[in-house]
A and B are shown apart, each in its own frame.
Chain A
């Protein structure tokens, strides 16, 4: 090691010595070295801290952004998911059905779907339809088969129910008195063994599948005429099928998707849910040329009569010139089925929390619906107001399109209505003829926005006043002498039998024989002559050419009017002052037209048709047209019947025809 020293080592040595020198130097300056080391460590520490801080900062910033966006754009309303009914996952349903004199109930999987123990109500056979796949209630009906014809309605209903549905029957009180063989046979064909032998005051429950198996039946015979059978309780199980089996296989279109949704929820709408050849739900009627009411919103006022609403919307959507986008259905209450009907037709529907009771509830519903209509269509100058129990004439919109400009231009007009209170089969003739009348008929009418916003809405009867909205609108404070335009032949037909102020007798007497226009595209005549002054000229012309009838005859008799066609006749009745309608009311009664209050008059003049002749009635001397009476004619006076009789003759129903 001592002798051999390799040359190349010189350089490193030199370097090393430099390094050592430096190191030595440093060693000498220990303090400086220490300082450098501490500095480096400190620097390290600082960078670590700064790093951590940066990481924290970035994370906080990211978190804040998320928070902020969440706060800015979150809906303040938390939508709490309602847990779905567990039925959908189950394969078997427990069904309990109870039948007795004073109470019936049906429970499906412990949920009561029907309970009726009200006195003197709900007599007859209760029917419930369940969806065979989901177990949901699709229809609930009661047929009072103690009374006549109700069994026919039941047969009709049962025939409409799709095959495969689950049917539940139970009797309350009595259900056999008017249950005819046809109905019994239908029940038998459903699998009931008892139905053919059902008799007076028997109790009966039955659960079966339409066109399939029977899940259970129980029956208790009434031992004697004066007593009822013992209550029966049927407990059974129903096996659910798969959803696919419960549905029809219609082609997959937008329309059929709506149909499918509807048909899986409700029953009793006939061929709309038929698997083969279902009835259309889109109608595409011919558009109207120059349609002036295409942009006028249509408010359909509805309650909980979904079958009525279905019929009504069908006729409305079939009317020429209809614009489905302008239709809104307002449902008074949170009823599901009317909403299903609305959705079936692809229309928009709004539900309204019921306010107040009876007439006031209807009245508040009208107000809300009208206000909402003008809010939703702020451009509209008018709104068409319809009710759920009306058929709409095919030329309804054509009629409005031809006359609506009058409502805009003539300040003396209150409304245009599609309904003629006096237009019965035997008193209306001319689809192209219009009248001016001092009363407001309603039942399909056009409301001017300014009238509603400036006059009616601010003073609308408050909920505590149990007023009929239509009666209120007819009051002189509201009407202020303005008139409505009506057609001779109505463009709407009131088919509702169930309603607040309505029953079968009343409907039969006053609405059934109402004339309803079915002719499309009627060209209205004399539209311009309906303006205030022109109408007077027109009336004077008419009275001028009218033949005076023989006033010695009885105006109630058919022979009062000669057997002609197309002539104009006039008769004069006694009318002492403007409000004296004694003779008119008697005349209306014997002509079998509306006599419950005075309708259809214009300055003491009524216009109708008898035997296809135009028939004018003038009240003398109150009417300004009295001057047309020849001096030789004595106005006819009809004695009102004695008081007691009057009470019997007029049914105890308020005069309003609304819902």
Chain B
């Protein structure tokens, strides 16, 4: 009998542990799906009660906002994505009643709206009303970046994000600020020490991981799911802009340290050069933006931004980078039309293209075209008298927005690697004599242009 029991016990144990194992596996899968968001939300979203909750929360929030005469607009990527599919229909009948709750009931944990800072007066009354309506709210403040570049100003922290929570749904209100360079900026979402980390799952917010820069949007008042809201006129453009909106603040503190070590050149020549470089950069940005050519600050101009948040007065030119895939034949005539004649053209579209335009009083605009390879990016250089070719190698990078001389421009997000590739580890030390053929630490000799091609690849005006 004992022996029988032993076997039975063994079998039973095996069975329970198998069941337990299966349960664990199921739970693990459940957990993973929750972590990835979508699957889990769907599980909850399929309950119709949940659907209308979201719609109700949004409706209440819009009521709250309009009762205080505050203008907000919808920037929720999920809803804008859905709206974009039916955009023609929504545009043509902006007031039409909708048969079903198609957008605001879509499964999600947040609805994101934008608020332009200058359109409201920071009245505390809004929050009192919100509390009366049952909202819990959280305000995220931080330093004002518009004053960050200034020596020793303090005093204001500005609200960057608000979160209004009601039952299981939350409204994320992103505050946009207008900044020098005619663009909108929103701040990163950083929690202070005593904030409630479990208030909402912050990681799932669509805005706030990084600061972002946007053009001022054109708005379209629409009625969707029987709610009147403003949306960006072209949702798909907005969504595209959003995916490349990451903004880098200039390193003002480091720049100040730099100027303590190497005092700024305040001579009249330096002031004049900076003024010209600034207006040249503004003109170039206008021209390239009109053509839809994406560009970024390169070489010395990028170094100036990264190291000292200003134009390097002894740099003598303005350097831009453009991916060769963005090259357009209209670039040269467009610059010419803007009053910047072509000074020289080296290389060709297939290889080592470099354009140089003549700005006011000897200030040149150098445009380098970058060629992408599997593991690096490079641009070419050509010595006019010998036809020698050079190659400058960079690690791959993505583009971020920044503000420079009152302009919203691109810089490589991985700026340090970019600058170090170009100027070596000693980039922090100003160098006045610079030879573009030997000084850069990423230069490689790249042969000589065949003599019969010279007429094409070395054009000097």
**What residues of chain A have their CB less than 8 Å away from a CB belonging to chain B?**
37, 40-41, 43-44, 47-48, 50-51, 54-55, 57-58, 61-62, 65-66, 68-70, 72-76, 78-79, 254, 325, 331, 334, 339, 348-353, 355, 368, 371-372, 374-376, 378-379, 453-454, 458-459, 462
> Does B431 make an interface contact (CB < 8 A)?
no
Tell me if A37 and B10 are in contact (CB < 8 A): yes
Tell me if A61 and B197 are in contact (CB < 8 A): no
Cross-chain pair count, CB within 8 angstroms? 133
| Residue-wise interface mask of B (5-23) relative to A, using a CB-CB cutoff of 8 A (1 in contact, 0 not) | 0110011011001101100
Q: How far is the CA of A375 from the CA of B208 in the complex (A)?
A: 22
> Does B35 make an interface contact (CB < 8 A)?
yes
CB-defined contacts of A75 to chain B, threshold 8 Å:
142, 190-193
Q: How far is the CA of A78 from the CA of B190 in the complex (A)?
A: 11
Tell me if A458 and B189 are in contact (CB < 8 A): no
Tell me if A462 and B193 are in contact (CB < 8 A): no
Partner of A350, one of B13, B24, B147: B147
Contact A376 to B147, CB < 8 A, known contacts A43-B17, A58-B27: yes
Q: How far is the CA of A78 from the CA of B192 in the complex (A)?
A: 8
Q: How far is the CA of A454 from the CA of B70 in the complex (A)?
A: 36
Tell me if A41 and B10 are in contact (CB < 8 A): yes
CB-defined contacts of A50 to chain B, threshold 8 Å:
21, 24
Interface range on chain B: under 10, 10 to 19, 20 to 34, or 35 or more? 35 or more
Q: How far is the CA of A61 from the CA of B181 in the complex (A)?
A: 43
Inter-chain pairs besides A349-B155, A368-B150, A375-B146, 18 sampled, C-beta below 8 Å: A37-B7, A40-B13, A47-B21, A51-B24, A54-B25, A54-B27, A58-B27, A62-B31, A65-B203, A74-B190, A254-B124, A339-B155, A353-B152, A353-B154, A375-B149, A375-B179, A378-B181, A458-B275
- Give 29 pairs: A residue, B residue, CB < 8 Å, sorted on A: A37-B6, A44-B17, A54-B28, A58-B27, A58-B31, A61-B31, A61-B35, A73-B190, A75-B142, A75-B192, A78-B193, A254-B123, A254-B124, A331-B155, A349-B155, A351-B155, A352-B153, A353-B153, A355-B152, A368-B151, A368-B152, A372-B147, A374-B180, A375-B179, A376-B144, A379-B178, A379-B182, A454-B275, A459-B266
Tell me if B10 and A350 are in contact (CB < 8 A): no
Q: Nearest Cβ distance between residue A416 and chain B, in whole angstroms?
A: 23
Contact A375 to B193, CB < 8 A, known contacts A325-B121, A349-B155: no
CB-defined contacts of A254 to chain B, threshold 8 Å:
123-125
Contact A69 to B197, CB < 8 A, known contacts A41-B10, A57-B28, A368-B150: yes
Partner of A351, one of B27, B125, B154, B178: B154
Contact A348 to B156, CB < 8 A, known contacts A355-B151, A378-B180, A378-B181: yes
Contact A40 to B275, CB < 8 A, known contacts A254-B124, A378-B180: no
Q: How far is the CA of A412 from the CA of B10 in the complex (A)?
A: 102
The residue in chain B whose Cβ has the minimal distance to the Cβ of A52 is B24
Q: Nearest Cβ distance between residue A450 and chain B, in whole angstroms?
A: 11
Q: How far is the CA of A44 from the CA of B150 in the complex (A)?
A: 68
Q: How far is the CA of A61 from the CA of B30 in the complex (A)?
A: 13
| Residue-wise interface mask of B (391-429) relative to A, using a CB-CB cutoff of 8 A (1 in contact, 0 not) | 000000000000000100000000000000000000000
CB-defined contacts of B406 to chain A, threshold 8 Å:
378, 453
> Does B202 make an interface contact (CB < 8 A)?
yes
With a 10 A CB-CB cut-off, give which of B18, B149, B153, B179 has the most chain A CB atoms: B153
> Does B274 make an interface contact (CB < 8 A)?
yes
Q: How far is the CA of A264 from the CA of B180 in the complex (A)?
A: 39
Tell me if A72 and B13 are in contact (CB < 8 A): no
| Residue-wise interface mask of B (23-44) relative to A, using a CB-CB cutoff of 8 A (1 in contact, 0 not) | 0110110010001000000000
Q: How far is the CA of A84 from the CA of B156 in the complex (A)?
A: 22
Tell me if A462 and B266 are in contact (CB < 8 A): yes
CB-defined contacts of B180 to chain A, threshold 8 Å:
374-375, 378
With a 10 A CB-CB cut-off, give which of B155, B181, B191 has the most chain A CB atoms: B155
Tell me if A74 and B10 are in contact (CB < 8 A): no
CB-defined contacts of B274 to chain A, threshold 8 Å:
458
Q: Nearest Cβ distance between residue B333 and chain A, in whole angstroms?
A: 29
Q: Nearest Cβ distance between residue A635 and chain B, in whole angstroms?
A: 40
Tell me if A58 and B28 are in contact (CB < 8 A): yes
Tell me if B24 and A376 are in contact (CB < 8 A): no
> Does B209 make an interface contact (CB < 8 A)?
yes
Q: Nearest Cβ distance between residue A301 and chain B, in whole angstroms?
A: 13
CB-defined contacts of A51 to chain B, threshold 8 Å:
17, 20-21, 24
Q: How far is the CA of A378 from the CA of B152 in the complex (A)?
A: 20
Which B residues from 166 to 188 make CB contacts under 8 A with A? 178-182
CB-defined contacts of B181 to chain A, threshold 8 Å:
378
CB-defined contacts of A74 to chain B, threshold 8 Å:
190-191
Closest 8 CB pairs of A and B: A353-B152, A47-B17, A350-B155, A378-B180, A75-B190, A40-B10, A458-B271, A351-B155
CB-defined contacts of A68 to chain B, threshold 8 Å:
203
Q: Nearest Cβ distance between residue A582 and chain B, in whole angstroms?
A: 34
**What residues of chain B have their CB less than 8 Å away from a CB belonging to chain A?**
6-7, 10-11, 13-14, 17-18, 20-21, 24-25, 27-28, 31, 35, 118, 121, 123-125, 142, 144, 146-147, 149-156, 178-182, 189-194, 197, 201-203, 208-209, 266, 268, 271, 274-275, 406
Q: Nearest Cβ distance between residue A354 and chain B, in whole angstroms?
A: 8
Q: How far is the CA of A459 from the CA of B270 in the complex (A)?
A: 10
The residue in chain B whose Cβ has the minimal distance to the Cβ of A364 is B151
Q: Nearest Cβ distance between residue A592 and chain B, in whole angstroms?
A: 42
Tell me if A72 and B275 are in contact (CB < 8 A): no
With a 10 A CB-CB cut-off, give which of A40, A65, A76, A331 has the most chain B CB atoms: A40
Tell me if A368 and B153 are in contact (CB < 8 A): yes
Q: Nearest Cβ distance between residue B111 and chain A, in whole angstroms?
A: 20
Contact A73 to B193, CB < 8 A, known contacts A372-B147, A454-B275: no
With a 10 A CB-CB cut-off, give which of A54, A76, A374 has the most chain B CB atoms: A54
Q: Nearest Cβ distance between residue B215 and chain A, in whole angstroms?
A: 14
Q: Nearest Cβ distance between residue B24 and chain A, in whole angstroms?
A: 5
CB-defined contacts of B150 to chain A, threshold 8 Å:
368, 371-372, 375
Q: Nearest Cβ distance between residue A52 and chain B, in whole angstroms?
A: 10
Q: How far is the CA of A646 from the CA of B146 in the complex (A)?
A: 50
Tell me if B153 and A350 are in contact (CB < 8 A): yes
Tell me if A69 and B203 are in contact (CB < 8 A): yes
Q: Nearest Cβ distance between residue A58 and chain B, in whole angstroms?
A: 6
CB-defined contacts of B28 to chain A, threshold 8 Å:
54, 57-58
Q: Nearest Cβ distance between residue B104 and chain A, in whole angstroms?
A: 27
CB-defined contacts of A376 to chain B, threshold 8 Å:
144, 146-147
CB-defined contacts of B153 to chain A, threshold 8 Å:
350-353, 368, 372
Q: Nearest Cβ distance between residue A26 and chain B, in whole angstroms?
A: 9
Q: Nearest Cβ distance between residue B231 and chain A, in whole angstroms?
A: 24
The residue in chain B whose Cβ has the minimal distance to the Cβ of A43 is B14
Q: Nearest Cβ distance between residue B277 and chain A, in whole angstroms?
A: 12
Tell me if A54 and B193 are in contact (CB < 8 A): no
Q: How far is the CA of A349 from the CA of B155 in the complex (A)?
A: 7
Tell me if B151 and A72 are in contact (CB < 8 A): no
CB-defined contacts of B10 to chain A, threshold 8 Å:
37, 40-41, 44
The residue in chain A whose Cβ has the minimal distance to the Cβ of B182 is A378
CB-defined contacts of A379 to chain B, threshold 8 Å:
178, 182
CB-defined contacts of A57 to chain B, threshold 8 Å:
28
CB-defined contacts of A375 to chain B, threshold 8 Å:
146-147, 149-150, 179-180
Tell me if A44 and B14 are in contact (CB < 8 A): yes
Q: Nearest Cβ distance between residue A638 and chain B, in whole angstroms?
A: 40
Q: Nearest Cβ distance between residue A456 and chain B, in whole angstroms?
A: 11
Q: How far is the CA of A43 from the CA of B18 in the complex (A)?
A: 9
Tell me if A70 and B197 are in contact (CB < 8 A): yes
CB-defined contacts of B146 to chain A, threshold 8 Å:
372, 375-376, 378
CB-defined contacts of A47 to chain B, threshold 8 Å:
17-18, 20-21
Q: How far is the CA of A458 from the CA of B266 in the complex (A)?
A: 8
Tell me if B190 and A76 are in contact (CB < 8 A): yes
CB-defined contacts of B209 to chain A, threshold 8 Å:
72
CB-defined contacts of A458 to chain B, threshold 8 Å:
266, 271, 274-275
Q: Nearest Cβ distance between residue A341 and chain B, in whole angstroms?
A: 14
Partner of B192, one of A54, A58, A79: A79
Q: How far is the CA of A339 from the CA of B156 in the complex (A)?
A: 11
CB-defined contacts of B155 to chain A, threshold 8 Å:
331, 339, 349-351
